[in-house]
A and B are shown apart, each in its own frame.
Chain A
């Protein structure tokens, strides 16, 4: 441990919403130049804790000290002024403004009553250079990769002279190279003495980047490791509070019958070119690759969500036309999309309605439906899938894992033959992940051909019986389970 005094100390922080206590007295110290991983399942209290530090939420009890002085930010602005930078999971940049304007939005440097663009761009350039980002500050944010946008968020915090950065799932949308670039910058910031709280569900990267691990469960700090290099199993066990027998369920043996075949498939925008593969009945087929490799575009085309320019998709040996999702669904090909909140569920509508929307024709009798009938239909699936929520509850109130179950559940009444899951566990906590994996295996066992796209290497290796690796829109190779490991997949992905 470092001998210096902490930047920030939390003592006995509690938070209650009405009768519900979400934090039960947390103590935490952050020292300069260290990366502390804050881990825990969704609902463990990580977000509440980081919101308290960043001034979004006020604690019900307990106190904080910042550089030795009492610290109680009334709002995010006050926390920012002290030097706390919070980088949210969802990027909050304005696409139509320049990088410099985004960095200084709300606090533009002024000169004689006008915005001083020159000073602003110079200071922005300095901030970007500090992070090794080689982009002109007058460029619009629109069109920048997610990874670069993330770095701009960090640059924004740094120009505020942040002494402490809170990174909430910074790599959730990043590919391998971008993640490595981010880590290089984190190392740099560490050397400059910035303290970093790092929240992530990706345990592999936690081991690479952090100096200390704090595990939270049910609103309390349950364990602290004084090193980042702790076996993943040990961390997971601390997070879920029980010992884990296995992370991935056993794979069912696939049938010899080919359900889906893709021949020479290409997209109009060249996002993917000349893709060939087949998926057997009861097989889980993984698709791996870096960000921008064309995986999402490929599976969206197979499910009719995006157009194709050449090639064909065959179902049981017969070609099918897929002009829209309706065509695909009619043929039993369904998609569990990448972005749950924007493509999977209507957040402000109830679970029952969300399940109902994909099945209205089946629920309706001669075109007549009622809320009651939708509810009865949905409740059956809610029970069967163990969705934690009432049918009348809004989908937005559910945890990510339960939302994902709703998205999957809505398709199963259709008895699909091909289920495509794009990033099925992104943003879902570890405990809930295994129930998603169980669901995938159940589908395969019932004879469904399953395609899983994932950026999480461990996940795609764990659930797939074969893995297709994509690189820059092309098919780099297909690996059998025996030959697939993180090295062989990454080799193909970085061709």
Chain B
């Protein structure tokens, strides 16, 4: 038993230092890619790979924030609505008010972050359970998003905005994909190497131990919800660029996709284990799966069933592995 533990740690620490705990999902992703390579003739190509990257940008940015929230044992159901609110604020400020995009984007992100601030304060100061606080914010943010234009979409963004999602710089990266990659890298570094990131593991592991160890649990918790909402807003900017329009009905049930990506990536819903490395793999699994199923001409309804099955598979495999 002892030897087994040692071996497992040696493997995790030595070979894949940045993927601790996410080796299972990684193997799953590789198997999935291999399968699609043989099952379709279009899957294995640079162009298709770039397509997958483009398709996961919104989910990828959002899931990073969700990972931090789940890492401290919380949940954020509001991200989909917050994303829509940020998009509508952007459209309103730029198209209706006439503000330049350089100003409208930061203000839209600020509006998103404020949602997280409210949720964080509700959770820490008023002891509202995270599920309830963010459920309320989900409803409030969606309502506000709809109120801005009475449910109408807004169009009329500058051409360069849409080009961010289309033009591949160096024939490779669109700016929106670059944003996602930057978020991934900053998130990974923060979570693994910053003081503030390590603290999240302590809080998720046992908030009382963390508090007694002199960690400012309340401040860290508020900060995490603010960052999560900010990233939801950022994913809204990415989606607005991709669609070249904004509408208040965007992002319905995106929070569930984000949670699915985090969970598939091996982060435990009870907090304290997992991380952004796993979430990136989780996002890729969902992206590759959707792409592959489209290539295989599987109906969208069947795709939902399959993604549900993958969530179950990922979590039970992880639980089983841990028990062994």
Contact = CB atoms under 8 A, between A and B. Distances in A.
B214 A349 contact: no
Contacts of A360: 195, 198-199, 215
B213 interface: yes
Interface string B1-37: 1100100010001000000000000000000000000
Given A348-B205, A348-B273, A349-B201, A357 B195 contact: no
B206 interface: yes
B211, B212, B272, B273, most chain A CB atoms within 10 A: B212
B13 A325 contact: no
A358 B213 contact: yes
A370 B205 CA distance: 18
Contacts of A324: 211, 216
Interface in B181-220: 192-196, 198-199, 201-202, 205-206, 208-216
Given A349-B272, A361-B195, A369-B198, A343 B1 contact: no
Interface in A309-366: 324-326, 329-330, 335, 337, 342-349, 353, 356-358, 360-361, 364
A330 B215 CA distance: 11
Contacts of A346: 202, 205-206, 209-210, 272
B194 A369 contact: yes
A364 B210 contact: no
A494 B95 CA distance: 77
A349 to B, nearest CB: 5
Contacts of B194: 364, 367-369
Interface in A378-424: 392-393, 410
Interface residues of B, number: 27
Nearest to A374: B198
A347 B273 CA distance: 12
Contacts of B2: 20
A358 B215 CA distance: 7
B140 to A, nearest CB: 30
Nearest to A327: B214
B195 A17 contact: no
Contacts of B215: 326, 357, 360
Interface in A438-457: none
A457 B212 CA distance: 27
Interface string B207-242: 011111111100000000000000000000000000
Contacts of A343: 206, 208-209, 212
Nearest to A342: B208
A357 B210 contact: yes
Contact of A337 (B1, B210, B212): B212
Contacts of B9: 392
A305 interface: yes
Most A CB contacts (10 A, CB to CB) among B5, B13, B199, B202 go to: B202
Contacts of A371: 192
Interface in A170-215: none
A18 interface: yes
A326 B198 CA distance: 17
Contact of B198 (A342, A347, A356): A356
Interface in B269-289: 272-273
Nearest to B214: A329
A236 B27 CA distance: 53
A242 B195 CA distance: 46
Contacts of B202: 346, 349, 353, 357
Interface string B115-157: 0000000000000000000000000000000000000000000
A360 B220 CA distance: 14
Contacts of A20: 1-2
A370 B198 CA distance: 9
A18 B206 CA distance: 32
A392 B202 CA distance: 15
A326 B272 CA distance: 21
Given A364-B195, A367-B195, A392-B9, A342 B206 contact: yes
Given A344-B209, A345-B209, A369-B193, A353 B201 contact: yes
A343 B207 CA distance: 9
Contacts of A344: 209, 212
A449 B150 CA distance: 66
A162 B198 CA distance: 49
Contacts of A348: 205, 272-273
A213 B208 CA distance: 39
A369 B1 contact: no
Interface string A253-296: 00000000000000000000000000000000000000000000
Given A330-B214, A344-B212, A346-B209, 12 more contacts: A20-B2, A324-B216, A326-B215, A343-B212, A348-B205, A348-B272, A348-B273, A353-B202, A357-B199, A360-B215, A369-B194, A392-B13
Interface of B: 1-2, 5, 9, 13, 192-196, 198-199, 201-202, 205-206, 208-216, 272-273
29 contacts: A18-B1, A305-B211, A325-B211, A325-B212, A326-B214, A326-B215, A326-B216, A329-B214, A330-B214, A335-B212, A342-B208, A343-B208, A343-B209, A343-B212, A344-B212, A346-B206, A353-B201, A353-B202, A357-B215, A358-B214, A360-B195, A360-B199, A364-B194, A364-B195, A368-B193, A368-B195, A369-B194, A369-B198, A370-B193
Interface of A: 17-18, 20, 303, 305, 324-326, 329-330, 335, 337, 342-349, 353, 356-358, 360-361, 364, 367-371, 374, 392-393, 410
Q: Shortest 8 CB-CB distances between A and B: which pairs?
A: A346-B205, A329-B214, A358-B213, A357-B202, A364-B195, A346-B206, A357-B213, A367-B195
